[in-house]
Amino acid sequence: MSLKTYFPILDWGRRYNRQTLSSDLIAAVIVTIMLIPQSLAYALLAGLPPEVGLYASVLPLIAYAVFGTSSALAVGPVAVVSLMTAAAVGRVATQGTIDYASAAIMLALLSGVMLVLMGMLRLGFIANFLSHPVISGFITASGLIIATSQVGGLLGIKTEGHALPQLIGSIIEHIGEINLDTAAVGGVALALLLWIRLDLKNWLKRFGVPKGLATVIVRAGPVLVVFLTMAWSALMDLGSKGVALVGQVPQGLPMLSLPSFDFAIIQQLALPALIISIVGFVESISVAQTLAAKRRERITPNQELIGLGASNIAAAIGGGYPVTGGFARSVVNFDAGAATPAAGAFTAIGIASATLLLTPFLAILPKATLAATIVIAVLTLVDFSMLKRAWTYSKADFAAVAITLVGTLLLGVETGISLGVGASILVFLYRSSQPHAAVVGLVPGTEHYRNVKRHKVETVPGVLSIRIDESLYFANARYLEDLVINQVAANPGLTDIVLMCSAVNAIDMSALESLEAIHARLSDLKVRLHLSEVKGPVMDRLLGTEFLAHLSGQIHLSQHQAMLAIAAHRLAAPADAAHRPLDAAS
């Protein structure tokens, strides 16, 4: 492979020009404005000091610009991964300690190494094990947990727990300790942010503000709320009234380093790191592919694994915590006209500048403002309509969504996503263990064979044609065996059975043994077994077995040829009734 495969910057970098530079700079300014308050808020959600969110928004963006393949994906701290980080790190260290921060950095490093290895091993398909309904259920539940966890910050009370029952119990326990000044700041910030998101653009439009400028103002809205509440905090001296403030934030960027290697901690964080890696990759690749499709660009999943892995390793080196591609900021990046991954690198420069220049002023920022920022940000994650759609379309998918949703809410994010993966696999095994199979007949005037229950078709007495609509393997081999034998029992006059294999892409050893058992039972009943429309790769495997050598019927190129051959056999003299040589398969 060429270097451009692993370093996409060598490809798009050659085509970089003034126009793309202008587009990337504009997008970077808009995303930077949006990312500053979000980064601060998500760090608090992860149980870390707010400046860590800024650290996690610098080097990872530069790393993704070098290794990533999406022109619009914006990497950084996100709500769900922040919540998962808090749940994972909270089990190995106490929040607010150096050990807690070190564990978060180690979690980012482990996640990064795992993602890079998965990319090198071309394991991008691993995302397929998390179905979209399951991811939707998990993200909805995570959104509810995140929003609930911020109630304490909005009211000035203490809340604990990483699942809904513990959080609600904690809120009820401390409800009498509400700080009215904190509640006032939280309520105003929440109302302003909600208005900015839902109505500010329409309000600006009525005043004749150009669409582009209105978009920038809306994106900058959270920053304006931050400055407003900081002014409120300074004028009213809210810190003396018990309002929790961000406090002194270290000015400047941290020294580049790696965390100390404690193998006991690594062992405890390995599984959470794997889960965070997979969830982050699924969220990121979904956003990247959606945005790429709008521009007819190509996303390479395996290279995306390497890009996200490099971003997380960079986050660890820069004193951050696990990151991934965020939906909201990526859409903003796309809408703002980001033309290449360089937009992320320019955003990193903007965040680094803010870290160097603005952090002294953050000391008076009420934490209630950041709590409100998180609540508004996660509103877009909650989607109960998936439950209705899944119930209407597929009860099995509904069960998977419901298990994931309820499991995450009641037991926490790691258990919830594990239940979701398990539910997805069980749904797949259940469906494939009972493959759709149909008795088919000839559509009059054609050579097409369709389900006798759905179409008006012609059938031949004594001949049964069964179309199998699934590959045959150990989980469904017995099902096919029972299906054929039951059909024979229900049709005592049968002389021939044809298995139509047009949808069979593979037959494993267990299925082959079932076919041999079916053949033996049918031979005892004087019923010939035929196969039709067997695919080439399947035929190649069957040719190396004894099954074809003893087959009582024939292998036919098409279903129609099978029926013609059976009809000819019936008309033949008894002396010609011996089995004919096998026809060639497709």
Q: pLDDT for 270-285, tens place per residue?
A: 999 999 999 899 889 8
Assign 557 to helix, strand or coil: coil
Reported as a single tens digit per residue, the pLDDT across 214-259 is 877 887 788 889 999 999 999 999 999 999 998 887 878 888 888 8
Distance CA 326, CA 33 (A): 15
Reported as a single tens digit per residue, the pLDDT across 180-197 is 999 999 999 999 999 998
Inform me whether the pLDDT recorded for 31 exceeds 80: yes
Looking at residue 7, its pLDDT comes to 87
Question: Which residue type, as a one-letter code, is found at position 268?
Answer: Q
pLDDT band at 1 (very low <50, low <70, confident <90, very high): low
CA-wise closest residue to 101 among 247, 243, 254: 254
How far, rounded to the nearest angstrom, does the alpha carbon of residue 482 sit from its chain's CA centroid?
A: 37
Q: Cβ contacts of residue 468 below 8 Å, gap of 6+?
A: 435, 437, 480, 499, 500, 501, 503, 504
Mean pLDDT of 454-482: 92
Reported as a single tens digit per residue, the pLDDT across 366-405 is 999 999 998 988 887 888 888 889 899 988 889 889 999 9
* In 358-412, alpha helices (H): 367-378, 385-393, 395-411
Domain edges within the chain: 9-247+254-426, 437-576
Looking at residue 214, its pLDDT comes to 84
CB 528 within 8 A of CB 559: no
Q: How far is CA 435 from CA 181, 407, 505, 550, in A?
A: 62, 29, 13, 26
Angle among Cα 264, 268, 273 to the nearest 5 degrees reads 125
Q: How far is CA 552 from CA 33, 524, 566, in A?
A: 74, 11, 12
Q: What percent of the chain clears pLDDT 90, i.e. is strictly above it? A: 57
Class of domain 437-576: alpha beta
Looking at residue 231, its pLDDT comes to 95
Looking at residue 308, its pLDDT comes to 96
Looking at residue 579, its pLDDT comes to 41
Looking at residue 521, its pLDDT comes to 93
Distance CA 358, CA 365 (A): 12
Which structure tokens are listed for 106?
């180690």
Inform me whether the pLDDT recorded for 443 exceeds 90: yes
pLDDT band at 3 (very low <50, low <70, confident <90, very high): confident
Inform me whether the pLDDT recorded for 458 exceeds 90: yes
Looking at residue 282, its pLDDT comes to 86
**Its pTM surpasses 0.85:** no
